[in-house]
Amino acid sequence: MDRISSTVEPALAAPDTRPSRLRSGTVKVVVSSVPWLIISGLLWAGLFIKPQPVGGTVQPPVLERRDHYYGIAPAPGGGVWVAGTGGKIVAIDDQGHARVLAIPTDQTLQDIAVWDERHGVAVGNDGVILTTADGGQHWKSVEGVPRSTVANKLTRIRVSAEGKAVATGEMGALLHSKDYGASWTRLRDEEDVAWNDAALLPGGGLVVVGEFGRILVSPDGGSTWLTPEVPVSSSLMAVAFRNGRDGVAVGLEGVVLSTADGGRTWQRQKQDSHSHLFDIAWDEPTQRWLGVGALGAWVKAAAPAIDWQGGRLDERDLAWHTRILPVGGEAWLAGANIGRWDGQRWQPIGR
């Protein structure tokens, strides 16, 4: 038995380990190669595999909540054009459908106007002036516009027949064009005042309103100027006329002024609201003045511009509005939001 035991014990004590070592080496090689295989696969996928879209692409709305629209004009063929934040110009049809016409500049646009079915113009920050000659399909920036070394924001554009236009703005900017906005000249020298709006009267007359209650009147399109006395010292933001004599100017602190002699004399009219007023317009179909301003404020009056009423568009909507455009018995408004108002009901668009 002792002989048999001595023969078996060495065989059990020293087994052959060569296959185990081979497997261990193979595992180590495979494990160490895994990171490089992963990296290689990712590189191959990045170079040769083109990702395919899954589902539809989500497009941002045309009228975004962050956008503000400072100018509005009747669009050729119906609806309106609005211009504002980041150079955006948007067409809105009568059903409230909106589409971007162009974003030809990154400067915010302050106003927009049209002469006819083909010609339009927009003005804005840093003295930018844009024109279109094909109904809004293409817009181009006008070169050679007179500039100040101090400030150049253009706040309002007014147009009249035969391609005439007047733009107002900072540092006394009062610019004139006779060729549908293709070229511009100064009507007055640069000065430290902001002109906020101008009215082009029949026969070539011009009335301009601005900071500190200042008003200018020119009976001959800018060759000579009159400076009438004004009963307020707060800034006047807008002016409009219903004929060559009868006009209204509105401004900060709820100011309403009227004239019956083409702007040579002005009277302050009483109205209850002290909210800032930013725009005024004459609505020919309804024979009334309409104005808008801060905190959803509106004012209105009949032709004599004496008995003024006011209120809020909607107690739940206290947005400010810089423009009002009467169209077909109702009015479009532009500002912190866009909407229509029929005198009773306020209908925001795209919100």
pLDDT tens digits in sequence order for the chain, 351 residues long: 443 343 334 333 444 444 444 445 544 444 455 555 555 555 544 545 555 555 555 567 888 888 999 999 999 989 999 999 999 999 999 999 999 998 999 999 999 999 999 999 999 999 999 999 999 999 999 999 999 999 999 999 999 999 999 999 999 999 999 999 999 999 999 999 999 999 999 999 999 999 999 999 999 999 999 999 999 999 999 999 999 999 999 999 999 999 999 999 999 999 998 999 999 999 999 999 999 999 999 999 999 999 999 999 999 999 999 999 999 889 999 999 999 999 999 999 976
Please tell me the distance from the alpha carbon of residue 340 to that of residue 333, in angstroms, as a whole number. 6
* Partners of 349 in beta bridges: 338
Q: What is the mean pLDDT of the chain?
A: 88
pLDDT of residue 332: 98
| N-to-C CA span, the chain | 102
Q: Is 271 among the domain residues?
A: yes
Q: Is 177 among the domain residues?
A: yes
pLDDT of residue 27: 43
Same domain, 175 and 270: no
Q: Is 16 among the domain residues?
A: no
pLDDT of residue 31: 46
- Examine the fold and report which residue of 132, 167, 192 is the final residue of a domain before the chain moves on: 192
Same domain, 296 and 184: no
Q: Is 272 among the domain residues?
A: yes
Q: Is 61 among the domain residues?
A: no
Same domain, 72 and 180: yes
- Examine the fold and report which residue of 130, 158, 192 is the final residue of a domain before the chain moves on: 192
Same domain, 244 and 344: yes
* 188: Cβ contacts below 8 Å, ≥ 6 apart: 172, 174, 216, 222, 225
Same domain, 332 and 265: yes
Domain range for 282: 234-351
Q: Is 89 among the domain residues?
A: yes
User: What are φ and ψ of residue 37, in 5° steps?
Assistant: -65, -40
Q: Is the whole-model pTM more than 0.85?
A: no
Same domain, 248 and 342: yes
Same domain, 131 and 188: yes
Same domain, 251 and 183: no
Task: Look up the CATH number of the domain holding residue 320.
Answer: 2.120.10.30
Task: Look up the CATH number of the domain holding residue 141.
Answer: 2.130.10.10
Q: Is 121 among the domain residues?
A: yes
Q: Is 25 among the domain residues?
A: no
pLDDT of residue 38: 56
Number of domains in the chain: 2
Same domain, 258 and 350: yes
Same domain, 262 and 324: yes
Same domain, 93 and 184: yes
CB 128 within 8 A of CB 140: no
DSSP-assigned letters across all residues of 267-303: EE---S--S-EEEEEEETTTTEEEEEEGGGEEEEEET
> Distance of CA 127 to CAs 34, 164, 295, Å?
62, 18, 28
Same domain, 72 and 187: yes
